[in-house]
Structure 1
Amino acid sequence: MRAKLLNRARLLRCAIVPLLALPLAGCDWVVLNPAGDVARQQGDLVIVATLLMLLIVVPVMATVVIFAWRYRATNTEAKYDPDWNHSTQLELMIWAAPLMIIIALGAVTWVGTHLLDPYRAISRIDAQTPVAANAKPVEVEVVSMDWKWLFIYPEQNIATVNELVVPAGRPLRFRMTSSTVMNTFYVPALAGMIYTMPGMETKLHAVFNQEGAFKGISAHFSGAGFSQMHFATRAVSDAQFDQWVASVKAGKNDGMLSRDAYLQLDKPSIADPVRHYAGVAPDLFNAVVDLCVQPGKICMSQMAMLDAKGGVGKEAARLNVAALTYDKNGRATETAVLPGSVVAQTDRFVKAYCSDNRPMAAPSGDAPLPKTLDRLRGAGINQATGPRVSLAGPLLQPAS
């Protein structure tokens, strides 16, 4: 009787195991069954790499079981050879097979990694459809914030918060940065995760092969609101995309995404609703990357140009560095730009001294230069042509 009860208990436990897997039936293996060609190629690469590794793992696990059973203590028929120390055939099998697998795995992953480089423009829509020679990618500028996502469409001159809508079947180009800490942009159905970092720009090229609704998330812990830092993603037809753009511009929206509106939006918040902006301030994304959205802040690119010239002296350098202060408290501090103020004069000098299209250009003659020109020691510095100025007073004034 006791034996029957034990058998029933074992059968019951065995029956429970498959039931535990039932909740998994509702899961979608989106990484291995994505809606984008880049993600599909990445999924295929994962499968191939896993199968190659299983060619070693499975035989090793099977051999462990076979050896343990064959050479068990109670098996008196097994051959006993206490003096065995070498087998050429066994050595060849142990070393040659893994070596061949590693070579194959390295070749597959190396080629796949370069073909799927996120900075590389895609060459196909899917396995049967190459990208047309005149195809223009849809560009989206992405900014990760605390704790929300901002999407700017420069060609359409609109912006959204926590909603990404793109046309299916067309190449997509994402330019990404962060306004706070490092984060990760990840739409599993589209492509792999890409880091977003303050003061830097990263890129992603991808494509959706089918229409549908998908989920985008932050895959990098970034603070209190990280768990709710996700966004809705929709791939639609070209006609639906045009209609959506028109509705954002003409429908209920949050108005213009000016620099002031951006600074308000950049304040930390959790579980923000979807927002639409019918217009975007010119060159806003580049200002975010350059850490100079706030009025009066000297941009990183301008500071780099000054450094390339050898600097502008101790006093002016101190002012420039102060204007570049970038932290959670400093970001929210606005700097007043008044005519004749130190910040205004310094910024005017920087803009005159540095040119975006001619980074090594000479300063213009009407730009006031810092007093301490004797401290410039950079190679290739152009001869100063503007009037000398004094930093003795609160304002930059021409020295007598």
Structure 2
Amino acid sequence: MSTKKLGRQVFFWSMAIWASVLLSGCGSEYLVLHPKGPVAETQYNLIKISVILCALIVVPVLALTAFIVWRYRDTPDNKAPYKPNWTHNTTLEVVWWGIPVVIVALLGYFTVRDTYALTEPPNKETKPITIQVTSLDWKWLFTYPEQNIATVNYVPIPAGVPVQFELTSDAPMNSFWVPQLAGQTYSMPGMAMGLWLQADEPGEYYGSGANFTGEGFAHMQFKVIAKPQAEFDEWVKQAKNTSPAMTKADYEKLSKPGLSERLTFSSFPAGLFEEIVKKNGHGHEHMNHYKNNLKSETGAANQHDTSGMTHTNHH
């Protein structure tokens, strides 16, 4: 194959790859690359660091691959040296082992640092609120233990205020994900998981289930609606005054497989979230440790009544 023909093929495939990458983004927005809160911002920065560190390996390897293919091509006019008995070069060994080891160590450092940082409130100067999340087939139930209200498939929050989400499932395991505000966290039967989240500014943010759970999986979407504190307080007041109360029968009906529109309830049965955790596993052995960790992070004054709850798992 002539050098000119090889050059044309390399150019063609390069353009094809670039076209595929660029066209794949047409008409859509990569939400995870547009963070709107401190938690998502930290994760976005970790993504950038990871891409840069990985590129330090991937780009030279691809360049060297292309060079080697061209330099040692099997053509009559190729004058590349032929060394069939060559076996070792100390300098090269240090380069191709040393550089990856350093890069992996750096990547591990940044990952551990940010992972542990995200287990704490993103803003320790502001009192957080707690929202309990239960994934169902195929809908999301949000209960507000401090306000004693509940919603389905949408979750208003005050902008600029840290939110401690507590997650469980009364259905198959799912994954709670709001790309612009935080990374995904599993909701699992018999466990209470924790996720900090904060929206820096008012707006509506897309959320979804990111774990396949059957027929209605594609419809497990919700909106996180960040409001100024005054508007959030007014919404709570309106929900208390105009919405029906949730009974145990209402919850049993809601928990059955099926889709649901947005719903609002002025109250919900006391201890509902804790009962859901306990009935699906060893909830009484899982929750107090989680609550003690949360208490040490946010202070006793910010805790709601969670009597009878013991240990959790963190992912």
TM-score by length of 1: 0.63
Equivalent residue number for residue 264 of structure 1: 253
Distance 1:97 1:278, change over 3 A: same
- Give the match's secondary structure for 2:132: strand
Distance 1:87 1:301, change over 3 A: closer
Identify unmatched segments of 5+ residues in structure 1: 1-6, 125-130, 293-298, 303-355, 360-400
Q: What's the CA shift for 1:57?
A: 1.2
Equivalent residue number for residue 85 of structure 1: 87
Equivalent residue number for residue 192 of structure 1: 183
C-alpha separation between the residues in 2 aligned to 1:153 and 1:179?
17
Q: What's the CA shift for 1:248?
A: 1.5
Q: Deviations over 1:314-334 (max 9, x none)?
A: xxxxxxxxxxxxxxxxxxxxx
8 A Cα contact 1:139 1:173, kept in partner: yes
Q: What's the CA shift for 1:300?
A: 6.0
Q: What's the CA shift for 1:228?
A: 0.6
C-alpha separation between the residues in 2 aligned to 1:104 and 1:245?
46
Equivalent residue number for residue 173 of structure 2: 182
C-alpha separation between the residues in 1 aligned to 2:204 and 2:188?
27
Distance 1:235 1:87, change over 3 A: same
Q: What's the CA shift for 1:278?
A: 1.0
Equivalent residue number for residue 234 of structure 2: 243
Partner amino acid for 2:227? V
Higher-Rg member (1/2): 1
8 A Cα contact 2:168 2:187, kept in partner: yes
Equivalent residue number for residue 25 of structure 2: 24
8 A Cα contact 1:32 1:44, kept in partner: no
RMSD: 2.7
8 A Cα contact 1:150 1:162, kept in partner: yes
Q: Does 1:151 align with 2:151?
A: no
Identify unmatched segments of 5+ residues in structure 2: 1-7, 286-306, 311-315
- Give the match's secondary structure for 2:279: coil
**How many positions carry a matched residue from both structures?**
275
Partner amino acid for 2:107? L
What are the residue-to-residue correspondences of 1:69-218 with 2, within 5 Å? Answer: 69-74=70-75, 75-116=77-118, 120-124=119-123, 131-132=124-125, 135-218=126-209
- Give the match's secondary structure for 2:41: helix
TM-score by length of 2: 0.79
Distance 1:178 1:24, change over 3 A: same
Partner amino acid for 1:163? Y
Q: What's the CA shift for 1:22?
A: 4.9
C-alpha separation between the residues in 1 aligned to 2:198 and 2:145?
18
C-alpha separation between the residues in 1 aligned to 2:66 and 2:147?
63
Equivalent residue number for residue 34 of structure 1: 35
C-alpha separation between the residues in 1 aligned to 2:186 and 2:152?
19
Q: What's the CA shift for 1:20?
A: 8.8
C-alpha separation between the residues in 2 aligned to 1:151 and 1:50?
35
**Structure possessing the higher relative contact order (Cα contacts under 8 Å, 6 or more residues apart):** 2
- Give the match's secondary structure for 1:250: helix
Equivalent residue number for residue 278 of structure 1: 266
More divergent stretch after superposition (17-26 vs 272-281) = 17-26
C-alpha separation between the residues in 2 aligned to 1:285 and 1:76?
73
8 A Cα contact 2:122 2:198, kept in partner: no
